[in-house]
Amino acid sequence: MASYDSKDLIVLEGLDAVRMRPGMYIGTTGLKGLHHLLWEIIDNAIDEIANGYGNKVVVTLHKDGTASVLDNGRGIPVSPHPKLKMSGVEVVFTQLHAGGKFGDHNYKYSGGLHGVGASVTNALSRYLEVNVYKDGKKYFARFESIEKNGKIHSGVPVEHLKEVGNTTLKGSYVRFLPDDRVFKDINFDYDTVYERLKETAFLNKGVHIELIDERINKQETLCYEGGIRDYVTSLTMDKKPLFVPPIYIENEIDDTYVSVALQYVDNYTENIFSYVNNIPTPEGGTHEVGFKTALTKVLNDFVKKHTKEGKDKKDKEIAFIGDDFREGLVAVLSIKMKNVQFEGQTKTKLGNVEARARVESVCTQGLTEFFASKKNENIGNIIIEKAKSAARVRQAAKRAKDLARSKNIETSMLIGKLANCTSKNADINEIFIVEGDSAGGTAKQGRDRYFQAILPLRGKPLNSEKKRIDQVLANEEIRTIIGAIGTGIGEDFKLDNLKYNKIIILSDADQDGMHIRCILLTFFFRYMRPLITNGNIYVGMPPLYKVTTKDKEWYCYTDEELNKITSNLKNYSLQRYKGLGEMSAEQLWTTTMDPARRSMIRVTLEDAVMADKEITMWMGDDVGPRKDYINKNANFNKIDTFKKNKEDKEGN
């Protein structure tokens, strides 16, 4: 029986490697891996059929534990391979990735290449037999995994391919016994095989697939003339389809075959099942993107067209997004192309960039034609109605979410105005909350952008004294601050997420500036109190005066300082800064922002408590006493109100 020689063993080192590390080729040696052996064989047969040769595949699970696959295609090549000096059949079963040597230029859409090849099935089988029916002749070959000197050699051709008779049949037949030294369990599962074949039958319309289980005397034939249309129909059987039958598009472009079937059901989920060369791509990829783009475009066009005709002017106001058109969508997208590249976590995402435009083109054309037909107008309207309700719900949900955010805030939006620093090190980073856009601009120019971020507050953002704090939270400026700081607020506050070690409020030394400071402090006090107790909140101290003599200049931060300096001077000029905007970027840097020279007040809990009291007072209606109170107590520039100690108060 055995007619192999030592040359066969050398040739098969690759197959021995498969046996050494089966996991690398089939993932597991559990049931999934076992079935993988069968998928490899089935996929090869299906490829032949899918490329137009033959129309039938029979899968049999035998009593002896073997599985066999028969097709009525052209028959695996039997002629010797010019380089490898062995029959085509032997190449297929002994060379890893033999598909590349044979299939690539023979099949229009080289499908079988996704698998590791029939040789892996051979390597992990006790034995494997092949019958080829071709050109009136019948051929046979047998491979075995044999033990020699205590070592197992995988898939050795123990009977080289030979002619064994005449036949009128055409096709290939492969039968193998999975090796129980590799797999714990070698029992094929009927349902698993059935489900796989059913999916395959849907994806290859008109192909007859027969499953025979001799172990339990069960037999089933699967054939769907409607292909993926029938797939979508079966997927939506126990749901409520909004129309029947599914929309179907099929075309070929640049050697890429594209087909898609879609339907909408009465729910809110999106279900797109996509495939490339019959391989599922649950992670999506470029083909799915192309399909979605086309769907969104065509449906938007449909809305526009029917709005233009004056049917429903209101529709114009709805700004649809792609998701709106995919609520309740059930679609099967199947493409076939050459040289597929898979990416993603599980290598189940199509990466070929060219697929996107091709799928988009076929789908746009097909869907446009579909909806242009008068008899399909109603289907278009049904889909648009569904999309409208999706858009409405989406907008309502967004409003609700915004409101929830403004109360129980976790805000990462609205930080567009933030001029962030480049450093990602929160320990050294600082954020200046600056009153007014113009001062904000100056601060942006003056800062050290490596560690200093600038967040300008527009004018006087919180100018209504009657604003209750929850209304303050609805304020865009406040939400921006929350988003920038990163900690969240209230119960959700997490100091670990703080993005800046120092949060510096920088406002003018006037009433408005004071007002803003108080509101911000109140806000921090109520919603981010740990920032205050942890000592992260500061009030920047821009100078109030500049004193200049012939040969020297001084910046004074308080009236006291000014008195002290000017008392010893005779000829000097005095500049009073009314706002940050009067300073140049350079001046702002040297006097207020440069850590080596600036003065800052580190805000204490008592400071914040006081600010909070003041805010509470401001909420009253009587303006008179309020103003007095502010002037007396809330003036940060009065050294006795907020004890100002240079740098030592900054805590480093």
Q: Using the rule CB under 6 A, is 90 a contact of ligand TSJ?
A: no
The DSSP output letter for 347 is T
Task: Kindly state the smallest distance separating residue 188's Cβ from ligand TSJ, in Å.
Answer: 16
Q: Using the rule CB under 6 A, is 86 a contact of ligand TSJ?
A: no
Q: Using the rule CB under 6 A, is 127 a contact of ligand TSJ?
A: no
**Cβ closest to ligand TSJ, residue 60 vs residue 106:** 106
Six-digit token pair at 175?
């039968």
In 471-604, where do the E strands start and end? 502-506, 537-540, 545-548, 553-556, 573-576, 600-602
Map the footprint of ligand TSJ across residues 54-83, applying CB under 6 A. Answer: 69, 71, 73-74, 76-77
**SS3 category, 575:** strand
Instruction: Give the residue from 478, 530, 528, 537 showing the smallest Cα distance to 502.
Output: 537
Six-digit token pair at 289?
């993107």
Task: Kindly state the smallest distance separating residue 128's Cβ from ligand TSJ, in Å.
Answer: 8
User: Is 337 within 8 Å of 110 (Cβ atoms)?
Assistant: no
**Cβ closest to ligand TSJ, residue 101 vs residue 306:** 101
Q: How far is CA 210 from CA 41, 131, 193, 223, 494, in A?
A: 15, 19, 11, 9, 61
**Cβ closest to ligand TSJ, residue 58 vs residue 610:** 58
Q: Using the rule CB under 6 A, is 129 a contact of ligand TSJ?
A: no
Q: Using the rule CB under 6 A, is 33 a contact of ligand TSJ?
A: no
Task: Kindly state the smallest distance separating residue 174's Cβ from ligand TSJ, in Å.
Answer: 4
Could you give the residue numbers annotated as active site? 435, 508, 510, 512
Among 38, 92, 443, 615, binds ligand TSJ (CB under 6 A): 92
How do strand 171-178 and strand 67-71 relate by DSSP bridges?
A: antiparallel
Task: Kindly state the smallest distance separating residue 250's Cβ from ligand TSJ, in Å.
Answer: 24
Placement of tokens 């590791």 in the chain = 116
Q: Using the rule CB under 6 A, is 207 a contact of ligand TSJ?
A: no
Q: Using the rule CB under 6 A, is 22 a contact of ligand TSJ?
A: no
Among 22, 33, 103, 540, binds ligand TSJ (CB under 6 A): 103
Terminal alpha carbon distance of the chain: 88
Task: Kindly state the smallest distance separating residue 365's Cβ from ligand TSJ, in Å.
Answer: 32
Instruction: Give the residue from 234, 229, 233 showing the smallest Cα distance to 195.
Output: 234
Describe the strand order of the beta sheet including 553-556 as a list of residue ranges: 553-556, 545-548, 573-576
Among 18, 22, 48, 139, binds ligand TSJ (CB under 6 A): 48
Task: Kindly state the smallest distance separating residue 116's Cβ from ligand TSJ, in Å.
Answer: 11
Six-digit token pair at 412?
């990462």
Q: Using the rule CB under 6 A, is 642 a contact of ligand TSJ?
A: no
Placement of tokens 């993926």 in the chain = 228
Residue length of the chain: 652
Which range of residues in 98-106, 207-215, 271-279, 336-344 is near ligand TSJ by CB under 6 A? Answer: 98-106
Among 44, 87, 94, 364, binds ligand TSJ (CB under 6 A): 44
Distance CA 539, CA 5 (A): 89
Task: Kindly state the smallest distance separating residue 119's Cβ from ligand TSJ, in Å.
Answer: 9
The DSSP output letter for 592 is I
Enumerate binding residues for ligand TSJ (CB under 6 A): 41, 44-45, 48, 69, 71, 73-74, 76-77, 92, 102-103, 106, 118, 172, 174
